Amino acid sequence: MSESTTRLWLKNPLAVFSEHDSAGGIVIEANKIVELVAKGAKPNLAVDSVFDASRHVVLPGLINVHHHFYQTLTRAFPTALDKPLFPWLKSLYPVWAGLQPEQIHWSSRLALAELLLSGCTTAADHHYLFPQGLEHAVDLQVDAAQDLGMRATITRGSMCLGEDDGGLPPRTVIQTEKDIIDDSERVIKAFHDDKEGAMIQIALAPCSPFSVTPDVMKASATLAQQYNVHLHTHLAETHDETDFCLKLFNQRPLDYLESVGWLNDKTWLAHGIHFDESEIKRLGDNGVGISHCPSSNMILASGICPASALEDAGSPLGIGVDGSASNDGSNMIQEVRMAFLLQRLKDGAENISHLDALRWATKGSAGCLGRRDIGEIAVGMQADIALFNLDEARFSGHGDPLAALILCGGHKADYVMVAGQWRVEKGEINGLDMAQLMAEHHQSAKDLAQRYFDKC
């Protein structure tokens, strides 16, 4: 939508994922939804332009609540194939130790572009690797999100518990506790926007129980409370993690989380697979969010998140594509389908609908981030909207358009709007030379791999 447009009507969509009657379309003014139009009706508000959406399924912009942008550089990496989480990480830490600033630049842009093309308008990234020379990785990620016009919650991750102190990562990729907390405060002050419609937010994200000390967990919780930002970490992803916590802390992962002051509604967790019934209730009672990462969980054979039980207990339940080395893709609409399939396998065909998966990827994900201005098509919400056409052979013969988008395997958005501005039109990102981006990114991946193999 150009600067001169006052109101735009997305007219007569094929289908809309909304709790409200909007079969006649959506009216957008500036960065917000200002009217929903009933079937067969016209807007009450005067409009300046009309977009014919009669070939499009319309969704709220999808919200990805767990990712590692830098991992796009090590997809299907030879030394990491066919391994569960801990051996997989140990095989890749020495590779990631060689990351350079330009590789964060290109990997962040590639990951965000991939997400945007799949209908994602808000992405949360968890960057926790800060080898020497990469101290300003968060700044580079913020630049990338701003360049593409996407919303982002950049979580300032951290690792300080090296393998020589009983942790998992090598010392080459960790920082001191002081450096972590000092830079966490810096990036909050520099980038965090707590206003409605914020484009960039910061959260604090010590990586995991097996890579940071309790002191860093506690200090991060204190800092998050001081600046009113969210907390994020990996938790209950594998049985190995549970064993690690029992051995090092004499506590299960959730008990450890509570002991360091994280069990509250400002926290969301990646994975959340291995919780028992009493722990699920505690999570729900405290409003702790969970990012379900189905593709990663299947590739690493970590287990299946009890998504419905967590949501029923009161936890915000969102979806994350996770790292593009444990998922090997950054496609959000495909991740919605994967969540739908995996949870249906777990809970039964009669208990999981495509509408559940769409809710998780929109309103549920927004809840994880503590945002009430995105994730829904409703009056007053931000105009973050993804439009998918069903013109491909895979959709031919469909009956229910919304169901077809998920069941038939939608993979690419036709149009995507963020804050009332078209960022994708006719399947292409406005102003982005995708071929050049892919060439630069591919070269960065080759350089990173070569740096590793030269040391071997």
Pairing of strands 385-389, 56-60: antiparallel
Domain CATH code at residue 42: 2.30.40.10
Which residues, listed in sequence order, are joined to residue 451 by a DSSP beta bridge?
none
Instruction: Classify the C-alpha dihedral 430-434-435-441 as positive or negative.
Output: positive
Whether 434 is in a domain gets the answer: no
Confidence at residue 165, expressed as pLDDT on a 0 to 100 scale: 85
Pair 424, 349 in one domain: no
Look at residue 167 in the predicted model and tell me its pLDDT.
Answer: 85
Helix (H, G, I), strand (E, B) or coil at 272: coil
Q: How far is CA 209 from the centre of its chain?
A: 21
Angle made by CA atoms 441, 415, 200, in degrees to the nearest 5: 60
How much is the pLDDT for 164?
86
Ramachandran angles phi, psi of 157, nearest 5°: -80, 180
Q: pTM of the entire structure?
A: 0.97
Place of tokens 């992962």: 253
- Same-domain status, 184 and 311: yes
Order the strands of the 415-418 sheet from edge to edge: 15-16, 56-60, 385-389, 415-418, 421-425, 428-429
Domain boundary among 368, 394, 419: 368
| The two structure tokens encoding residue 159 | 């690792």
Residue 22 sits in the same domain as residue 111: no
Identify whether 452 is part of a domain. no
| Per-residue pLDDT tens over the stretch 33-47 | 999 999 999 999 999
Q: What local confidence, expressed as pLDDT, does residue 6 receive? A: 86
Dist CA 360 CA 73 (whole Å): 28
Cα–Cα distance measured from residue 181 to residue 169, given in angstroms and rounded to the nearest whole number: 19
Do 239 and 318 fall into the same domain? yes
313, 398: one domain: no
Over the stretch 386-428, which tens digit does the pLDDT of each residue have? 999 999 999 999 999 999 999 999 999 999 999 999 999 999 9
Average pLDDT over residues 169-193: 96
Note whether 207 and 130 are same-domain residues: yes
Do the domain assignments include residue 447? no
Residues spanned by the domain of 400: 7-60+380-429
Residue with structure tokens 């994975």? 271
- Chain segment 314-362, per-residue pLDDT in tens: 999 999 999 989 999 999 999 999 999 999 999 999 999 999 999 999 9
Shared domain for 207 and 329, answered yes or no, is yes
What gap in Å lies between CA 140 and CA 103, rounded to an integer? Answer: 10
Give yes or no: residues 48 and 158 share one domain.
no
For position 456, what pLDDT does the model report?
A: 80
My answer on whether 298 and 423 are in the same domain is no
Q: CA-CA distances (angstroms) from residue 70 to 66, 135, 153, 315, 360?
A: 13, 14, 15, 28, 25
Residues 280 and 395 in one domain: no
pLDDT for res 3: 44
User: Looking at the structure, do residues 47 and 182 belong to the same domain, yes or no?
Assistant: no
Tell whether 361 and 403 lie within a shared domain. no
State how many domains the chain has: 2
Residue 436 lies in a domain: no
Mean pLDDT of 282-287: 98
Q: Is 442 within the bounds of a domain?
A: no
Which letter, b or e, does each residue of 81-102 get, where b requires 16 or more Cβ atoms within 10 Å of its Cβ? eebebbebbbbbbbbbbbbeee
Query: Is residue 51 one of the residues assigned to a domain?
Result: yes
Residue 107 within a domain: yes
CB 186 within 8 A of CB 136: no
Q: Is 374:121 a contact under the CB 8 Å cutoff?
A: yes
1 has a pLDDT exceeding 50 = no
* pLDDT tens sequence across 225-235: 999 999 999 99
We report the CATH number of the domain holding residue 324 as 3.20.20.140
272 domain residue, yes or no: yes
pLDDT at 166: 84
